[in-house]
Amino acid sequence: MYSYDGEHEFYFEYSDYDVSLTMPAGFIVWSTGYPSNLKEILSDEIMNKYTKGLAADTIIKVITTVDLNRKNIFRGKERSYSWRFSVQNVPDFAFGTSDHYVWQMTNVKMNGRRILVHTAFNPSAESYNEVIHFAKGAVEQYPKGFQGIPYPYNQITVFHGNSGMEFPMIVNDDAFPNRSTDVYVTTHEITHMFFPFFVAMSETRYGWFDEGMAYFLPQKIQLSFDPSDHRVRAAKGYSNYAGKETDMPLMTPSYLVREPDLSMLSYYKSAIAFDMLRNVLGDDLFTRCLTEFIIRWNGKHPTPYDFFFTFNDVSQRDLTWFWKDWFFGRGYPDLGIKEVKSGEGKIRVLVENKGNYPIPVEITVTAQDGSEEIIRETANVWSNGDKEKWIEADIKIAAISAEIGAPWIPDSNPGNNKWKLN
């Protein structure tokens, strides 16, 4: 048994919960599970707004600052109230409570059911008024991204707490000083409803899998709300870290790694590895493989090997070369230009893979007049273990310089990325 110490996250078996939480009068409770006795606690006025929110596509403000000031939230004048919640087949239970938070809710209609989306937050955190939109967008995206696999629960609550932490059906998210981080943390934590809670890989041992997926998968929905590309953030962060003595293989058990190395392993490096895998397979095949993995292993406590074997099986490709380097290897991402031959409408660039990790090739070729052409090859060019590769392309310009790399591709040594005609 390993301690859950704040760095290394929990891993429990599925259970059924029927929980009563007795709180002093004035305190509202949001939690894992579905409430069963709100009518006994909330006033008719608040209950009417809640009931409206059960079917509303718009944002319903169940409790506002006006309600808090008027003290019209509770039925009767009891000294305490017992809030009851129940749910089946979840790996943990968590709750949040406050006597001064406002409450917003809406819902998403999906596959014949309605998924409730709640936010509970301090009204002084004005940026939190947008969080419900980010949360709703995250819930809506997953049936599209996983080819129809529905969001696993009928409810999600984003509770204004500290930093960011996931629990089944409720996440504990701070209010951040910029919109980009609000978008990122909201969508990241909600993605955890699939990884680990729906699939159930051990986040204590393989934290990089769930954190990497939660970093990598919401990128499109994040960009729909904010232009910050967190894929670029990961590439830059890992480029500055890669190849150090503490840059451990992804398959290193998470409980053997401490901060700050744990975060680099769990978030940046793993998210990049999944992005590189998508580059190898293409969007459609990657999605088919991931969808099948979720279907096959829902709730069965898979290991990374089950992930590897499922992708090999569904793609009908032996991806051992990719798993070996990105998940077991001690390499680093570093491509460089070794030689260029250009003329008669063609260009040949000898690219050297100095760091061993298979990463995509993106070469920007520049002409005398400043015009550019971009040559792209997926990370598949390294599938046979070559350390050098001639990249050939037809070009319409006479090249005077070439540079390899892109903001989303990690590179630990940009000093060997450029070639210039003498």
For residues 83 and 216, state if they share a domain. yes
Say what the pTM is: 0.94
Q: Would you state the structure tokens that stand for residue 198, as one six-digit string? A: 């729906």
For residues 372 and 303, state if they share a domain. no
For residues 132 and 175, state if they share a domain. yes
Q: Is 312 exposed, middle or buried (0-12, 13-18, 19+ CB in 10 A)?
A: middle
Residue 144 lies in a domain: yes
The number of domains in the chain is 3
pLDDT higher than threshold 80 for residue 175: yes
pLDDT at residue 364, rounded to an integer: 96
* 39 close to 48: Cβ distance less than 8 angstroms: no
For residues 178 and 29, state if they share a domain. yes
Q: Which residues contact 6 (CB under 8 A, 6 or more apart)?
A: none
Domain boundary among 181, 206, 225: 225
Domain boundary among 301, 328, 355: 328
For residues 212 and 260, state if they share a domain. no
pLDDT higher than threshold 70 for residue 1: no
For residues 213 and 317, state if they share a domain. no
Mean pLDDT on 356-373? 93
Residue 182 lies in a domain: yes
Q: Would you state the structure tokens that stand for residue 80, as one six-digit string? A: 């305490």
For residues 278 and 313, state if they share a domain. yes
Domain with residue 44: its CATH number is 1.10.390
For residues 212 and 86, state if they share a domain. yes
For residues 256 and 374, state if they share a domain. no
* 169 close to 217: Cβ distance less than 8 angstroms: no
For residues 248 and 361, state if they share a domain. no
- State the Cα–Cα distance between residues 291 and 310, nearest whole angstrom: 10
pLDDT at residue 119, rounded to an integer: 98
Residue 8 lies in a domain: no
Residue 26 lies in a domain: yes
* 60 close to 69: Cβ distance less than 8 angstroms: no
Nearest to 120 by CA among 181, 180, 53: 53
pLDDT higher than threshold 90 for residue 399: no
Q: Could you report the per-residue pLDDT of 301-340, keeping only the tens digit for each?
A: 999 999 999 999 999 999 999 999 999 999 999 999 999 9
Residue 6 lies in a domain: no
Q: Could you report the per-residue pLDDT of 288-312, keeping only the tens digit for each?
A: 999 999 999 999 999 999 999 999 9
pLDDT higher than threshold 90 for residue 48: yes
For residues 138 and 281, state if they share a domain. no
Domain boundary among 172, 200, 225: 225
Residue 386 lies in a domain: yes
pLDDT higher than threshold 70 for residue 3: no
Residue 342 lies in a domain: yes
Q: At what angle do helices 270-281 and 207-216 cross, to 10 degrees?
A: 60
Residue 1 lies in a domain: no
Domain with residue 368: its CATH number is 2.60.40.10
For residues 34 and 72, state if they share a domain. yes
pLDDT at residue 146, rounded to an integer: 73
Full domain range(s) for residue 318 = 230-328
pLDDT higher than threshold 90 for residue 163: no
- Mean residue pLDDT of the chain comes to 94
- State the Cα–Cα distance between residues 293 and 312, nearest whole angstrom: 11
